[in-house]
């Protein structure tokens, strides 16, 4: 195992203000809705990750990895809880988030019921890779959250920091149970491609559905601004492409992208959250 960091479970509460949920990002309502659409996936997604790692809990013999798995489960459970509250705020603000969450749940249940456990773990480490590279971009470019409403900004930063902290845990479980064989490589790379296609294939329709609810879907200036934000300048998604591709290197490990310096920001964030 070559993990550099052992994660720690933290119990932070963000008390999100419901009235800010439609326009909390300084870049405007469209960017806000894009990030809100990402939140739809988290509660059920996190529970799926927990289950797919838990399936292998008894196969892990390394005590450090056992400790990391316990903290990983704890962290993802806290993320699920806080994003449940986030999504509840979206529902109360009039967005059909419950319907979209039900679709995500149905999809993940289908995967749980019809695919073998190694496939489910492959999907998990693929989605953990996506989360980790988005988190890295968010932490590298504080301008994404600059001037944002303080509770929402703190929640996204906390999630990004903990995703960074535990980014190798599910991956190390996969390595321990699947080894380094060509079959293991083929499964982890194909599940990354499948997970990425399905994630974006749902994210964009959800984003448009969120916009439509408030009549923002015909605002071309707003749509362009978000497209630019994601793919051009600053390019929140474009900037993740090289890191996404690194996953295809046969010996890839999440800590090849050594960004653990960001974790020094955690105590400051904890103190900030305690005071909001």
Identity of the residue, 156 or 209, whose beta carbon is nearer to Fe ion in the bound complex: 156
Do 20 and 26 form a contact (C-beta atoms < 8 A)? Answer: no
Rounded-to-5 percentages of helix, strand, coil across the chain: 75, 0, 25
Decide if residue 209 touches Fe ion (CB under 5 A).
no
For the CB of residue 183, give the shortest distance to Fe ion in the complex, in Å.
Answer: 25
The smaller minimum CB distance to Fe ion, of residues 30 and 79, is found at 79
Smallest gap from Cβ 248 to Fe ion, in A, equals: 21
Among residues 41, 90, 29, 55, the alpha carbon closest in space to that of 215 is found at: 29
**Total residues interacting with Fe ion, rule: CB under 5 A:** 3
**On the CB side of 3, how many CA atoms lie within 13 Å of its CA?**
25
CA distances (Å), 10 to each of 73, 119, 181, 257, in order?
Answer: 11, 29, 36, 24
Q: How far is the CB of 8 from Fe ion (least distance, A)?
A: 14
| Nearest CB to Fe ion, comparing residues 29 and 48 | 48
Alpha-carbon distances of 230 from 27, 80, 129, 242, 247, rounded to whole Å: 12, 25, 18, 15, 21
Task: Name the closest residue to Fe ion (Cβ).
Answer: 79
State which of positions 69-88 bind Fe ion (CB under 5 A). 76, 79
Which of 48/207 has CB closer to Fe ion? 48
Q: Of 149 and 163, which has the nearer Cβ to Fe ion?
A: 163
Write the interaction track for Fe ion spanning residues 157-186; mark x where CB under 5 A is met and - where it is not.
Answer: ------x-----------------------
Instruction: List interacting residues with Fe ion (CB under 5 A).
Output: 76, 79, 163
């Amino acid at each position: 195992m070559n993990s550099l960091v052992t994660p720690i479970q933290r119990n932070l509460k963000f008390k999100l203000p419901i009235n800010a949920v439609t326009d909390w990002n300084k870049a405007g309502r469209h960017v806000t809705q894009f990030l809100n659409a990402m939140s739809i996936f988290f509660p059920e997604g996190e529970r799926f990750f927990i289950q797919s790692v838990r399936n292998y809990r008894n196969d892990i013999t390394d005590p450090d990895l056992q400790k990391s798995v316990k903290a990983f489960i704890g962290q993802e459970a806290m993320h699920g809880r806080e994003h449940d509250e986030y999504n509840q705020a979206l529902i109360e603000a009039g967005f059909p988030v419950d319907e979209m969450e039900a679709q995500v749940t149905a999809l993940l249940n289908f995967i749980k019921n019809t695919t073998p456990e190694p496939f489910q773990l492959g999907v998990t480490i693929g989605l953990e890779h996506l989360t980790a590279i988005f988190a890295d971009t968010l932490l590298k470019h504080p301008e994404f959250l600059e001037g944002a409403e303080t509770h929402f900004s703190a929640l996204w930063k906390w999630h990004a920091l903990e995703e960074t902290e535990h980014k190798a845990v599910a991956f190390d479980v996969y390595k321990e149970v699947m080894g380094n064989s060509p079959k293991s490589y083929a499964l982890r790379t194909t599940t990354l491609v499948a997970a990425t296609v399905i994630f974006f294939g749902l994210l964009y329709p959800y984003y448009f559905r969120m916009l439509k609810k408030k009549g923002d879907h015909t605002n071309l200036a707003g749509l362009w601004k978000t497209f630019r934000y994601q793919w051009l300048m600053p390019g929140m998604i474009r900037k993740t492409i090289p890191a996404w591709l690194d996953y295809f290197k046969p010996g890839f490990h999440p800590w090849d992208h050594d960004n653990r310096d960001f974790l020094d920001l955690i105590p400051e964030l904890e103190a900030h959250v305690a005071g909001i």
